[in-house]
Every structure is written in C-alpha cells, then in structure tokens.
Chain A
Amino acid sequence: MASKVKQITVWARGVVQDKEGRDIANGLANAAKKEGKFTQAFDNYVDLPDRVNVPLRKYARISDEEIEERYEYENEKPEVVIVADATLVKGINVLRGMEKGGVLVVNTDRKPEDILKFIPNRDLLKAIVCVDAKGICGEATVDFSGSEGGVDAVGLGAGMAAPILGALVRGTNLVKLENLAAVVKNKEALYKGHEQAVVKTL
C-alpha cells in the first residue's frame, strides 16, 4: 500500500466490543473526512462472524489522495494501533506490520510502563498512550445494528470509543479534537479521555 495512506488498526474483543471497535475506526475516519481527507473504515471480514471475546480487527485509513487500495482488506503496515481491551496485548502481536515510529493507544487503568512489559517489539513505538476508558464511561455499548455492513442505529461514540478517541489525539496528529467532538455522541467522555490520557514518549 502506498505510504501516503495512513493505516490505523483497532483491536477489540468479539461481540462485547464489536461496536466499540467499529466506532473507533468510524469516528476517526469521519473526523478526518471533515478535514478534507480521503478515508476508509471497515471491519476485518475474516475476524467475523465473531464469538464472545475473540480478537477482532477494525481498520481506518486516512489519505490526502484517493485511496487506490480500496479493496485490500487488511492494514499491512499500521502506524497507529489502538487496543480496546488491554488483555489483548498478552497473547497477540498487536504491532504486527508496524514500522519504527508508531503509536500505541491502550484502554487500561494501568500505567504505560506496565503495558510495555507485555510488548516485546516495543522498540517500534515512539509513544504509548494509556486511557482508562471504562473508568470514564463504563462498559461498552452492545448493539449489532452496524455489524456485517449494516447501518448503525444507535449512533457513534456513545460508549468507550469516545474517551479512547480523545486519548488518541494526545499521541497522534491524525485528526483534531474538535472534529472528533463533531462526530461522537458522548462529547464529555471524549474530552475526559483527552484530559486523563497518560502519554509516554519513547
């Protein structure tokens, strides 16, 4: 894939975080679209249909030019990885494909140092951002209307996707906070996530 396309991969847990994971990818793409970018956001088809707690990937792509690889269905080289459930880092190489200088965002109540212990290829990272999204706005929203290519019926960013997106702005310059605020429902949680995020530069 052309390097001009920024790839963002979201890892989430099956069923219980299916919507939250998708909301993160969609929220990011929708906010970037407001900034005049070409964007894509979609589920990893082969991770679905999901089962409870299985690892799922959702993807977003942001580009200044038209995205030619519209039908390449995996992000091979993500420069930002978002982990919606911190326990995923223990069993999975979440940074797979990342080139040196990437950013990792993790939903956790632990400190960046604690999470980094579980990331064997942490030298790829230029920064890690930790945010206690669950602490800010509680459990995830469970809704299936937007799965399998359907149209989401309950709105984007009512659950913990909002604080995670807020935290993302602290570690990256992918999108502006105000553009995220224009697309997520729970703006208070978005701002809290942004304020409370802990950033460690590596």
Chain B
Amino acid sequence: MAKEMVLSGCAASAQAAKMAKVEVICSYPIRPYTALMMELAKMVANGELDAEFIYGEGEHAQLSVVLGASAAGARVLTGSSGVGVTYAFETYSPIAGGRVPVQMMIADRALDPPGDFGSEHTDAMSCRDQGWLMGWAENPQEAFDNCLINYRVGEDHRVLLPQFVCQDGYFVSHIPGKVLLPDQSQVDEFLPPYTLPHPLDPKHPVSHGPQIRPDQGTIMDLQRAQAHLDAPAVIKEAIADFNRIFGRDYSPFVEEYMTDDAEMAFFIMGAHTMTARHAIKHLRSQGVKIGLVKLRFVRPWPTQEVAEALSKFKAVGVVETSTSYGGAMRGGNLLHEVRASLYDLPKRPLTTSFMAGLGGEMVPLKEFYYMADILSEMIKDGKAKKTVYWVGFEAEA
C-alpha cells in the first residue's frame, strides 16, 4: 500500500531515487539542493540503498563522474543549485550529445551577484538548449513523481537523453508537503531496469565521445534534435502508464485549471502555480473569467499543446521566474517560446510577460491579483501596453 508522508522536495526526490534503485550518486554541497544528498548519504550509510556514493570535488566533477558511470551502464543521480549548475555547464552538451541518460536534480537558486540563495529558474533555464529533458515540480509530490517519469523517458532507447529534474529552491525543496510513497512493486512495474545500447565494457570495447571531423558534427546534432522530436510520444506513454499504475491524473505537457470559459490565463510552471490557483479561485468568486495553464516540460517544448491551450484566451500573462537580459520583448525566457508557439495561429491571444519571484522573492496572492488586473486591461484596450511587467516594481503597481 502507498504510504503517506510529509517530506520536503529534497527528501521526496531522495525517496524517489531510492525506489528507482539508483546505483551511482555523486554529490557536492550547495544550498538548497543539499538535503537530497544528505538523505541519500543516510540511506547508503544505513544499508537501505545499495549505491556507490561519491563525493565530487565540484559540480564539474559531479557531472563527469555520473557521465562515466551512466556510460558504463549504471543508473545515476547527481544534483546542484544556482552557480553550481552553471559551474558544470561544459559537461551538459557532451552528456546530451553522447546520449547518456544521467539525471540531475536541480533545486533552483538565483545566480550571483550578490550571493542570493533564493529560488529563481534562471540557473537551470540557462542550460535549457543543451539537449536535456527539463521540467519543474510544483510540490514535493511532483518532485518525487518527476524523478521516476524522467528516468523512464530519458532511459528509453527511443530517447536516450539526460534529464534536468527541477524544483523551486526553498519553496519546494525545503517546505515539507504531503507525499504518497508508492509500493516498490509499482515503481518496478513503471520503471524497467536501465540498459544502454553500447555501454562501456572492457569485454566488448566501444568508444564514447571521440574527437570527430567537422563534417561528422552535423549528423550528431541532428540525432540529438531528433531525440527531442521522438521524446513527446514516449512522454505520453510514460505519463499514461504512470497515471494508471500510481493513480494520478497528470497531463503530459500542459495542465489547465478553470480554463473552460476563461477569457484570460496565467501561463506558469513550478511552485507558484499553487498560489496562482488559489488567486484564480478568489478572482472567479468575483466574476473574473480567469484560468491557468501550467507547463510540465520546458524541454522538449510542447509547441502544439501550448498553442492549443492558449488559443482560446483573449489575453495570456506569462509568469516568469527567470531572466533573459536584453532578449526579445525584454521579458523572461518563457515569453519567447510562448509567442513563437502562437505565431502560426490564425487568431492569437494578447500576451505579456510578468517578471515575478526573481531572487526567490515570494509571489503572494495580491501579486496575482495585480497581474489579473493587467490582463483585464489588455482585453479592454485590445492591446498589451507593455511586453514585460516587473511585478512589484512598476510605477502604477
């Protein structure tokens, strides 16, 4: 029987990795993801988990260790936060290009300067184009579930891609919430043992990651791109199986809340979705026709699903928790992809970008009310006055 526990996101991720029977773990401490490794280290020390636990001398080493272990056929886990994520940046392309499905749990953290350990999606989002799968958890339960779902998808031989399994630092990683721990038999049914088509093996020598000629490069890039074209079908299968085995109700790519008759919506991912839902509930009671669309995978970006979900609204507010300094429209990263997804629609909603929760600042209910007011105004005016609002820092706020 599934067991209900109250766990932080970090502790939930550790439980998921244990039930996934992870074989090699490489750690290096940085807040706020640290407790993932604290928990796994305890499990290994107590004999609850039979895994190699290796202390890296930095994040670059962490990723290099798990790359080697995964290439040799072990299911692996590493993780980091903030500047730790960016310190390992060099390794991300070789891991994805080598089609080695390592999993990295990121409890996100604002990048310096100055030293800020608050949550912000910018650390992971800066790495989004290297070929990894990527998505955010809203709560500790999703942190648990996403670990299993990502192993299943990333290790599938039709995909073979590494995974950034992200959760908002502190909000999800530290604040405990209800987590249903399934039976081991359920996890075993969902997640087959890890195999790699051509693992490093002294008895059957193969080369991984050799130097190549420039004319050999494109085909490898194309294959990596193709894996992201093939991944959505595998994600759909995995989510369907997950829902059946664990009794959940996940959509593969986007989840909608109160969108049936909505004129406007928030487009959002991660922790603050929960607060947005409460804000919508209260706004609805005042007659405001608002809903939300939550993104579950940033990579592969679900172009079609985003377009379909957002096409029915008059106005969409993209709630960003990451920065894209000097980028198109000057908002966060999500607005670029949302607008690109909508471009081919005959009738597009008005869109704007809300910069909220940067640096780990709270996004309380009243900030969502403010954003809803802007969306109402956009519908009334028939246009967006601005393409980006820094919530809490606008003159009219």
Contacts and interface: CB of A to CB of B under 8 A. Distances in A.
Interface of A: 40-43, 45, 48-49, 68-73, 145, 147-151, 153
Nearest to A30: B6
Given A45-B32, A45-B117, A150-B38, A71 B11 contact: no
A71 B363 contact: yes
Q: Is the interface of A mostly helix, strand, loop or mixed?
A: loop
Given A71-B271, A71-B274, A71-B275, A150 B11 contact: yes
Contacts of B39: 150-151
Contact of B176 (A41, A49, A68): A41
A150 B8 CA distance: 7
A170 B368 CA distance: 40
B39 to A, nearest CB: 6
Contacts, number: 70
Interface in B1-34: 7-11, 31-32, 34
B362 A71 contact: yes
Given A42-B175, A151-B11, A69 B365 contact: yes
B154 to A, nearest CB: 25
Nearest to A74: B362
Contacts of A45: 32, 117-118, 170, 174
B371 to A, nearest CB: 16
A202 to B, nearest CB: 33
A150 B35 contact: yes
Nearest to A67: B278
A54 to B, nearest CB: 16
A48 B34 CA distance: 13
A70 B274 contact: yes
Given A71-B274, A71-B362, A148 B11 contact: no
Contacts of A148: 10, 31-32, 34-35, 38, 174
15 contacts: A40-B175, A41-B176, A42-B176, A43-B174, A49-B31, A68-B275, A71-B171, A71-B274, A71-B275, A72-B362, A73-B171, A148-B38, A149-B9, A149-B34, A150-B8
B86 interface: no
A70 B275 contact: yes
Interface in B352-397: 362-365
A121 to B, nearest CB: 25
Contacts of A68: 275, 278, 365
Contacts of B7: 151
Contact of B175 (A48, A71, A145, A147): A71
Given A45-B117, A71-B362, A71-B363, A149 B11 contact: yes
Nearest to B175: A42
B42 interface: yes
B349 to A, nearest CB: 27
B272 interface: yes
A87 B183 CA distance: 48
Contacts of B362: 71-73
A153 B365 CA distance: 35
B139 to A, nearest CB: 8
A73 B118 CA distance: 11
Nearest to A68: B278
A72 B360 CA distance: 11
Contacts of A70: 175, 177, 274-275
B70 interface: no
B173 interface: yes
Contacts of B363: 71
B50 to A, nearest CB: 19
B35 to A, nearest CB: 4
Given A68-B278, A149-B11, A42 B364 contact: no
The 5 closest A-B pairs by CB, nearest first: A149-B8, A149-B35, A149-B174, A68-B278, A150-B35
B32 A73 contact: no
B284 to A, nearest CB: 14
Given A149-B32, A150-B11, 9 more contacts: A42-B176, A45-B117, A70-B275, A72-B364, A148-B34, A149-B11, A149-B34, A151-B7, A151-B42
Contacts of B177: 70
B38 A69 contact: no
A145 B38 contact: yes
A140 B8 CA distance: 24
Given A49-B31, A68-B365, A149 B173 contact: yes
Given A72-B362, A150-B11, A151-B11, A42 B174 contact: yes
B203 to A, nearest CB: 41
Nearest to A49: B31
A181 to B, nearest CB: 20
A70 B177 CA distance: 9
B64 to A, nearest CB: 25
A103 B365 CA distance: 28
A40 to B, nearest CB: 7
A46 B179 CA distance: 25
Residue with the greatest number of chain B CB neighbours at <10 A, chosen from A45, A71, A147: A71
B14 to A, nearest CB: 8
A73 B174 CA distance: 10
Interface string B115-136: 0011000000000000000000
A48 B277 CA distance: 30
A109 B58 CA distance: 47
Residue with the greatest number of chain B CB neighbours at <10 A, chosen from A49, A145, A150: A150
Contacts of A145: 38, 42
